[in-house]
Amino acid sequence: MLFFTQCFGAVLDLIHLRFQHYKAKRVFSAAGQLVCVVNPTHSLKYAPTRCAAAQASTEQGILPPCHHHEAVHDPQLLPCTCPLFSCPWEGHLEVVVSHLRQTHRINILQGAEIVFLATDMHLPAPTDWIIMHSCLGHQFLLVLRKQEKYEGHPQFFATMMLIGTPSQADNFTYRLELNRNQRRLKWEATPRSILECVDSVISDGDCLVLNTSLAQLFSDNGSLAIGIAITTSKVHSSEAEV
């Protein structure tokens, strides 16, 4: 009976996944578009990251405490860029992708245009949906976060970060698009470098921002489908239009 129950549960999960995939295909019917179903990560607590702690200390005029090992610390080493965890890992930019995939099990999807299907949008904040996007010879990190910027008023923040330097990020333009029930909302901007804090980008509001009612308007049974397109461009523009 235990074996049967486990197998039956696995079959139900597979059916649910295929149903979510079908819904995304129905919303974004363009030929060749890939769909990535992204489940939320809700139970983790947001421990202050090193970049967030350093930013807070700077704003308060307090310098971060010195440690003995910092005297020989390699300045080229980067802290873990995954916003889900307070991870002690450090490494070079070239191995960030392998760390995110192997340690944090973040999925990667390839293609110039993909569909990011975030499930269970009703879960309370804070909640994250994260994937990596491989395109044009580079890797990008897409972060969708549900967070209360003001108490009792959760909002959704979506941003694209290039796993590369700021000068490399300037060569690209990304577009996030929501399209449902004859309504369309589009955000287009230059991606930020992963060397910057994801938390800072969200706090500054330099991303696609949706309040709860707007997110519900574009969601389908608790799932939000976001079309993603990345192009090479030197033109810096940032717009949101309905």
* pLDDT of amino acid 168: 95
Domain annotation covers residue 4: no
* pLDDT of amino acid 7: 57
Domain annotation covers residue 7: no
List the CATH number of the domain containing 158: 2.60.210.10
d(Cα 110, Cα 213) in Å, to the nearest integer?
A: 31
Domain annotation covers residue 21: no
The model's pTM: 0.72
Question: Alpha helices, DSSP H only, in the chain?
Answer: 2-27, 50-59, 96-102, 166-169, 198-204, 212-218
Residues 159 and 206: beta-carbon distance below 8 Å: yes
Domain annotation covers residue 211: yes
Residue-range definition of the domain harbouring residue 115: 30-40+78-232
d(Cα 23, Cα 180) in Å, to the nearest integer?
A: 11
Domain annotation covers residue 190: yes
The one-digit pLDDT tens for each residue of the chain (242 residues) are 555 555 555 555 545 445 554 544 444 444 346 788 888 875 444 444 445 444 443 344 433 333 333 334 455 788 887 776 678 888 888 888 888 888 888 888 888 789 999 999 999 998 999 999 999 999 999 999 999 987 888 999 999 999 999 999 999 999 999 999 889 999 999 999 988 888 889 888 999 999 999 999 999 999 999 999 999 976 444 445 54
Q: In the chain, how many domains are there? A: 1
Domain annotation covers residue 45: no
